[in-house]
Every structure is written in C-alpha cells, then in structure tokens.
C-alpha cells in the first residue's frame, strides 16, 4: 500500500495553495461567465477530440464551441496532417460543413454558392470566377485555427497568437505521460449529457474522492482504499502550472458482485496493454480548463477516459465522457469492458443528478463560499489557476 | 426447431431472445420497459449460463463472430446491463440518478 492515511498531507506538500474558503460567485455569475468566454476559452488550448476519430485522409469532425460561438472543423489532410478551421465559407460567411462527422469527398463544397475547399483548407474552385474583381483565391482559404496534437489528443487554441505551444502549456502532464500507449486503445463508448449546471460545478464535483463513499454508496462506494474503512484518501497529488493529478488505490477489501466477480475471472487477453507511467491504480488528471483524463488499471489491460465540460451558458453545460479500451480480443474481455463501462456510467449518472442539485443550491446564494478539506486541494488549485487567468487582461 | 437463433448448446435460452439487442440504447430501453420480476427471471437464467457462454464464444476472435454467436453475445450484454439492478440496487429505478433519456450513449 502506497497510500499514507495521514491528515493534511497535501497542503504540507503544496504549502503555496490556500486553505481558506473558495467563492461560489464564479459558478453563478452571468458577468463572470461572459469574461470566461474571452479570458479562458478563447485563450487556452482546448481538447476537441482524438486523432483516431479521423484515422485517414479526408476524415473530419465538427465541434460546436458554443461558449465561443465558434464551429470548428477538424480534418486530416491528404498530407496526413490534422488541421482545424473555422467551419465557415470565407465568401459570404455561410456554415460550410453541416454533418457532425464524415469523409470529405475530395472537396468541401459550400451549400450557398458551391465554393469548394481542399481538406488542407485551400480554396480550389469558385463558380463563375471570371465575374469577380481580381479575386486572389490564395487569400480565401478556410480560416485556420491553431491546432496541435499531443499523444493523439487534438487541441485547438482560438487566440490569434497562442502565448505557449501546446507542449509548453501541458508542461508536467506531458512529461509524465509522454509515450503512453493511448493510441493502442480505441474509443468504445461516448456518453453526452446536457446539465443544468455551470461547467465548473460539474468539473469540481468530479475533482475529488471525498464524496465517493457517501454519494456513491449504492454503486462504487467501496472501490477505493478507505481510511478506517470509511474515508477515501489519495495516494498521491501532483500540482502543475495549470493542471493537476490525484491518484488512488483500489480497495482490496472491495466485495465484488456476482456478475462482476465472474467477469473479472473470465477477463483474459493475449495482449496486455499497460500505462507504464500510471502513478497508482487510478489517476485523475485535470487538464486546464475543462478536460479530465482518467487512467485506470483493469484485469486484462489498462484503459482511459476523457471528460470534456463545455459551457453552454452560466448554468448549463454539455458533459462529454469517452471510454477508450484495448480492442476486445474475445467475448470474455468485451463483456468485462461493458460491465466496467456500465458500473461507471451509473456512477456518472448519479454525478449528473448531483451537479444539478449543487447548481440549484449555489444559485440560491445561500452560501457565498465553499469550505474545502485537504482531499479537495486540486479543486482549490483549479480555482486559483482560474482566478489568476481571469486577472490577465 | 430448425429456426433456432442461438447456437445449438444454448437453445434453452431461446425464450429470452428478445433480450438479444445489439446497441446499448436498445438494452437500456428494454431494461426500463421490463417488469422487475421478468428482469430477475432473465438474470437468473442467463447468469447461470454466463461462464459457459463465455467459454463457448471465446473460441471466436471477437471481430469474427458467427451470427448466432453474436446474438448470444448481445444477450450476455443485456445481462451485463441489468446485473446491477438485481445484484445491487434491487430496484428497477436507481435512486438519485439523472433521467436515463438525458444521458445518451453513442457507440
């Protein structure tokens, strides 16, 4: 056991992080939300997907970033490079691609006047071109959005000139997880839920285990190591410039359910894909501002999840959850994966319910601040980073 | 009966063929629409055969399953879908969860 069940160890490790109350206003203030659009979501690298969603030339997907009122077209060019563009025809501003995903049939054609663009974003054809006035087609390619890829995760940045590369921004997270076998795992399942909650209300509620034995007592309350059989404790916390990770160990005293026990016993595969750089059984990374990356160990291979919390308004967000597993070799492995997905899904459905109840409580302004203990240090850290970024005008 | 939809060794599970559903959305809809006593009966019959089902189906690579084997696999996926209801929640509706229709799976 690597977990030390001692009190207040994380604030001792990171004495620079505060211990006082955290304001609730950022989760309920419309004015704060308007500033977040500019200062957070238009200035930082945002994860919009993975390269395996667009494995071959011409494949694309579209993400609607409502918080920035931007539609992003992410496409793999014939040169194999992944690029992001505003999903807008530069002729008269029409929305270019209407499908959520697909394969570019050679050209992206605008539905308005049939201007046509290559998967690399160049303007290739203009109907009745001779009737324009000195039209320089090289000036009217799709408007590019900064796009960089780390370990298969696609990030975009809406700032005209990002102040850091993606690599610099990820910092210690990238160092920790470079060369991990993410690409050997495939997207198996996605869940999406529109919540009546501020995006941070959802993210904060996920960013700790203190609640686990209580809110999830019917589902996964005993899955992780407990102090005195009662309280969850992290085995490690690392804080980075913008990001953080907490880790925990599975509970050896966990009592598996009958189907769970059988499936664990029958879960076998020849390949055994592992994250060598896992810190503990379960690592939960917050990648600022709105992404979480979760690494799990499983009986016949590791797996990972991502969360993306997309703000829709001050009190609404879209929570996307994606599960990536090693491709199942046999039914035993597939059923075990499905059981794990379902178990976590039910827990996340409890969370989604809770997020809305928390938002309702915060919106009532009954409390002006939140009180947090040592196992909630990564939430504190996130709010400190947020405040710091919001202060940069 | 020559029209069996399941592999020979699992024809006794034929009465539960309606649980052989290929998508999670369909399995959730079936779970919600089925009375709890029927869910418990399905759970009892299939979970008693689950180990045999896995051993039988593991002879095939997952991506090369014959049709009758795929139907049996889809039935086992339905067992996975409802197992917590019977083994943990003891209730068709879990307390304090968001409405299932708002929590949408994509496969």
From chain B, the residues in CB contact with A332 under 8 A are 54, 57-58
CATH code, domain with A149: 2.102.10.10
Say whether residue A350 is in contact with chain B using an 8 A CB cutoff: yes
* A290 and A256 inside one domain: yes
- Tokens for B95, please give them: 């307390």
Kindly report which listed range (A36-40, A89-93, A200-204, A220-224) carries the lowest average pLDDT score.
Answer: A220-224
DSSP B88: I
From chain A, the residues in CB contact with B58 under 8 A are 330-332
Residue A244 falls within a domain, yes or no? Answer: yes
Question: In which residue are the tokens 């194999």 written?
Answer: A80
Tell me if A185 sits within 8 A of A303, measured CB to CB: yes
Q: Is A310 strand, coil or helix?
A: strand
* A319 and A206 inside one domain: yes
Asked if A332 lies within 8 A of B54 by C-beta distance, the reply is: yes
* Boundary of a domain, candidates A112, A130, A161: A161
Say whether residue B97 is in contact with chain A using an 8 A CB cutoff: yes
The confidence band for B93, taking pLDDT boundaries of 50, 70 and 90, is low
Which pairing describes strands A108-109 and A116-117: parallel, antiparallel, or unpaired? antiparallel
Tell me if A323 sits within 8 A of B66, measured CB to CB: no
* A345 and A368 inside one domain: yes
* A236 and A269 inside one domain: yes
Which pairing describes strands A82-86 and A144-150: parallel, antiparallel, or unpaired? antiparallel
* A145 and A218 inside one domain: no
Q: Which residues contact A194 (CB under 8 A, 6 or more apart)?
A: A312, A316, A317, A318, A319, B102
Task: Compute the C-alpha angle A382/A386/A391, nearest 5°.
Answer: 150
Nearest chain B Cα distance for residue A204, angstroms: 18
Q: Is the confidence at residue B1, as pLDDT, over 70?
A: no
Residue A338 falls within a domain, yes or no? Answer: yes
* A21 and A72 inside one domain: no
* A107 and A27 inside one domain: no
Q: Is the confidence at residue A300, as pLDDT, over 90?
A: no
The confidence band for A215, taking pLDDT boundaries of 50, 70 and 90, is confident
Q: Is the confidence at residue B107, as pLDDT, over 90?
A: no
Indicate the average pLDDT of chain B: 93
Residue A167 falls within a domain, yes or no? Answer: no
Helix (H) or strand (E) run with residue A145 in it: strand A144-150
Q: Is the confidence at residue A214, as pLDDT, over 70?
A: yes
How far CA A282 is from CA of A6, A247, A302, in Å, comes to 20, 6, 10
Kindly report which listed range (A231-245, A260-274, A374-388) carries the lowest average pLDDT score.
Answer: A260-274
* Boundary of a domain, candidates A135, A161, A187: A161
Sequence-ordered alpha helix ranges (H) in A137-194: 166-170, 172-177
* A190 and A310 inside one domain: yes
Instruction: Using CB atoms, pick whichever of A259, A329, A346 lies closest to residue B87.
Output: A259
User: What pLDDT, on a 0 to 100 scale, did the predictor assign at position A228?
Assistant: 84
* A14 and A155 inside one domain: no
Q: What digits encode the pLDDT tens for the residues A105-144?
A: 999 999 999 999 999 999 999 999 999 999 999 999 999 9
Mean pLDDT in residue range A161-176: 97
* A317 and A198 inside one domain: yes
User: What pLDDT, on a 0 to 100 scale, did the predictor assign at position A225?
Assistant: 84
Q: Pick from A207, A225, A201: which is nearest to A377 by CA?
A: A207
The confidence band for A257, taking pLDDT boundaries of 50, 70 and 90, is very high
The confidence band for B21, taking pLDDT boundaries of 50, 70 and 90, is very high
Tell me if A93 sits within 8 A of A337, measured CB to CB: no
CATH code, domain with A304: 3.90.380.10
Residue A171 falls within a domain, yes or no? Answer: no
Q: Is the confidence at residue A338, as pLDDT, over 70?
A: yes
Q: What is the CA radius of gyration of chain A?
A: 23
* A342 and A370 inside one domain: yes
Kindly report which listed range (A261-265, A270-274, A306-310) carries the lowest average pLDDT score.
Answer: A270-274
* CB-count burial class (<10 Å; 0-12, 13-18, 19+) for A64: middle
Q: Is A212 strand, coil or helix?
A: helix
Substitution target in B83, B90, B93, B101 with the highest count of A β-carbons within 10 Å is B83
Residue A276 falls within a domain, yes or no? Answer: yes
DSSP A41: I
Mean pLDDT in residue range A48-68: 97
Q: What digits encode the pLDDT tens for the residues A69-96?
A: 999 999 999 999 999 999 999 999 999 9
Indicate the average pLDDT of chain A: 95
Q: Pick from B102, B98, B25, B99: which is nearest to A351 by CA?
A: B98
Question: In which residue are the tokens 């994606």 written?
Answer: A322
Q: State the residue range of the domain holding A196.
A: 9-42+179-390
Asked if A190 lies within 8 A of B106 by C-beta distance, the reply is: yes
Question: In which residue are the tokens 């390269």 written?
Answer: A51
Q: Pick from A372, A262, A393: which is nearest to A18 by CA?
A: A372
* A20 and A75 inside one domain: no
How far CA A320 is from CA of A152, A292, A323, in Å, comes to 18, 10, 10
* Boundary of a domain, candidates A96, A126, A161: A161
User: What pLDDT, on a 0 to 100 scale, did the predictor assign at position A340?
Assistant: 94
The Cα–Cα gap between A113 and A115 comes to 6
Q: Is the confidence at residue B2, as pLDDT, over 60?
A: no
Q: Is the confidence at residue B67, as pLDDT, over 80?
A: yes
User: What pLDDT, on a 0 to 100 scale, did the predictor assign at position A223?
Assistant: 84
Residue A220 falls within a domain, yes or no? Answer: yes
From chain A, the residues in CB contact with B84 under 8 A are 219, 257, 342-343, 346
Kindly report which listed range (A80-89, A264-273, A308-317, B12-21) carries the lowest average pLDDT score.
Answer: A264-273
- Tokens for A151, please give them: 């370990």
Q: Pick from A101, A102, A88, A84: which is nearest to A149 by CA?
A: A84
User: What pLDDT, on a 0 to 100 scale, did the predictor assign at position B91?
Assistant: 78
Residue A254 falls within a domain, yes or no? Answer: yes
**Residue B98 zone, left/alpha/beta (φ > 0; ψ -120 to 50; rest):** beta
Structural domains counted in chain A: 2
Residue A4 falls within a domain, yes or no? Answer: no
User: What pLDDT, on a 0 to 100 scale, did the predictor assign at position B101?
Assistant: 92
Asked if A353 lies within 8 A of B106 by C-beta distance, the reply is: no
């Amino acid at each position: 056991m690597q977990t030390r069940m001692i009190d207040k160890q994380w604030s001792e490790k990171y004495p620079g992080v505060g211990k006082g109350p955290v304001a609730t206003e950022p989760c309920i203030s419309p004015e704060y939300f308007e500033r977040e659009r500019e200062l957070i979501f238009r200035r930082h690298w945002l994860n919009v997907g993975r390269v395996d969603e667009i494995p071959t030339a011409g494949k694309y997907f579209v993400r609607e970033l409502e918080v920035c009122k931007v539609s992003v077209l992410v496409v793999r060019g014939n040169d194999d490079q992944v690029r992001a563009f505003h999903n807008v025809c530069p002729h008269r501003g029409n929305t270019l691609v209407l499908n959520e995903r697909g394969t570019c049939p050679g050209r992206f054609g605008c539905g308005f006047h049939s201007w046509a663009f290559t998967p690399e974003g160049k303007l290739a054809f203009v109907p009745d071109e001779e009737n324009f006035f000195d039209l320089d087609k090289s000036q009217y390619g799709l408007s590019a959005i900064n796009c960089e890829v780390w370990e298969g995760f696609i990030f975009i940045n809406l700032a005209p000139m990002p102040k850091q590369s993606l690599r610099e921004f990820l910092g210690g997270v990238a160092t920790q997880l470079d060369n991990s076998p993410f690409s050997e795992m495939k997207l198996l399942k996605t869940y999406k839920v529109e919540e009546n909650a501020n995006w941070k209300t959802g993210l904060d509620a996920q960013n700790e285990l203190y609640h686990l034995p209580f809110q999830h007592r019917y589902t996964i309350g005993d899955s992780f190591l407990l102090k005195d059989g009662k309280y969850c404790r992290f085995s490690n916390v690392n804080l980075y410039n913008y990001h953080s990770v907490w880790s925990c160990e599975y509970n050896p005293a966990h009592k598996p359910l009958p189907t769970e026990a059988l499936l664990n016993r029958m879960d076998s595969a020849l390949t055994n894909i592992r994250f060598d750089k896992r810190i503990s059984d379960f690592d939960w990374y917050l990648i600022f501002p709105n992404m979480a990356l979760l690494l799990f160990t499983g009986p016949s291979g590791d797996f990972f999840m991502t969360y993306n919390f997309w703000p829709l308004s001050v009190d609404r967000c879209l929570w996307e959850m994606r599960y990536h597993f090693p491709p199942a070799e046999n039914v035993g492995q597939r059923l075990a994966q499905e059981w794990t997905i379902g178990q976590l899904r039910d827990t996340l459905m409890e969370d989604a319910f809770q997020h809305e109840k928390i938002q309702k409580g915060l919106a009532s302004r009954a409390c002006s601040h939140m009180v947090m203990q040592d196992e909630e240090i990564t939430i504190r850290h996130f709010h400190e980073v947020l405040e710091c970024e919001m202060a940069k005008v | 009966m020559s029209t069996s939809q399941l592999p020979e060794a699992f024809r006794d599970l034929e009465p539960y063929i309606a649980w052989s559903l290929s998508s999670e959305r369909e399995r959730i809809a079936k779970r919600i629409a089925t009375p709890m006593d029927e869910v418990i009966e399905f759970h009892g019959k299939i979970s008693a055969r689950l180990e045999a089902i896995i051993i039988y189906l593991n002879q095939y690579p997952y991506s090369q399953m014959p049709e009758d084997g795929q139907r049996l696999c889809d039935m086992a996926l339905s067992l996975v879908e409802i197992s917590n209801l019977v083994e943990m929640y003891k209730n068709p509706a879990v307390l304090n969860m968001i409405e299932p229709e708002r929590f949408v799976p994509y496969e």
